[in-house]
Structure 1
Amino acid sequence: MSKTRRTFTPEDRYSIVQESLRDGHSETCRKYNLSPSLLRKWRNRYLNKGKEGLRDSYPRVDPQVRALEEENERLKRIIAKQALEIEVKSELLKKTPIGLRKS
C-alpha cells in the first residue's frame, strides 16, 4: 500500500496544534496519523512565530505562470541566438573585401 502525500492548510495545522496543546502530543498524533516530529515542528513554529509560522514556507507557483516563464526563457534563447548570428554575419562582412561582396 503506497502512502499518499497529504496537505494541510495553515488553518488545519493551527487547529491540530491547538488540539495537541489541549489534549496531548501523542493522542493528537494518533488521531490524525501524524509523525510526532512533524507535529513537534508545527508546534515549535507556532510557539515561535504564532499563526504566521504555520503558513507554507515556499510560494506555490501557478502552472500557467510556470508555462509562461518557460516560454519566455525559450524566446529569450531564440533572440540571443539570432543576435549572435547577426553579429557574426556583420563581422564577416567587415572582413570581406568590397569587391567580393554580393549585392
Structure 2
Amino acid sequence: MPRGKRTFTPEERLSLLQEAEQEGYIETCRKYNLSPALLSKWKQRYLAKGAQGLKPAYKRVDPEVRALEEENERLKRIITRQALEIEVKSELLKKTPIQPKKK
C-alpha cells in the first residue's frame, strides 16, 4: 500500500543520522523504510553545512504569489503581441502609397 510523500524536519533527520551512526545504516534504513542513498545524502549535507544542510532545499511559494506571477506573464504576452501588431501595421502603412480618391 503506497503512502504519500513523507517529510522529515531537520531535527528528525539529525536524530535519524545519529541513530544510524549508533545502530548501523542498514538497520536504520529498514526500521524507518528509508533508502540508504537518502540517508547518505543527508549525511553529506550535514557534514558539509551542519544543521543548516538538513533543512529542505526548496522554497515554498505562496499560491497567491504564484497566481499573480502567472497573470503577470499572461499580461506581458498580451502586451508583446499588441506591440508587434502595431509595429507591423505601421510598417505596412509606410510601405503602401496613399491612393488619391477617385471622383
Give the alignment's TM-score, normalised by structure 1. 0.78
Deviation per residue, 1:57-85 (Å, 9 max, x gap): 23332222222221111111100010011
Separation in 2, partners of 1:100, 1:24: 93
Aligned to 1:61: 61
Deviation per residue, 1:6-56 (Å, 9 max, x gap): 111222212211222233323322332212221122122212221122122
Aligned to 2:96: 96
Aligned to 1:50: 50
Separation in 1, partners of 2:100, 2:69: 45
The 10-residue stretch of structure 1 (23-32 or 76-85) with the greater mean CA deviation from structure 2: 23-32
Give the alignment's TM-score, normalised by structure 2. 0.78
Q: What amino acid maps onto 1:21 in structure 2? A: E
Separation in 2, partners of 1:88, 1:44: 57
Query: Any runs of at least 4 consecutive aligned residues in structure 1 with deviations exceeding 4 A, and if so which?
Result: none
Aligned length: 101
Q: What amino acid maps onto 2:63 in structure 1? A: P
The 10-residue stretch of structure 1 (74-83 or 50-59) with the greater mean CA deviation from structure 2: 50-59
Whether 2:95 is the aligned partner of 1:86: answer no
Question: For residues 8 and 54 of structure 1, do their structure 2 counterparts lie closer, same or farther at Cα, with a shift above 3 Å needed?
Answer: same
Identity value in percent = 69
Q: What amino acid maps onto 1:2 in structure 2? A: P
Aligned to 2:10: 10
Structure 2 unmatched runs, 5+: none
Separation in 1, partners of 2:100, 2:63: 53
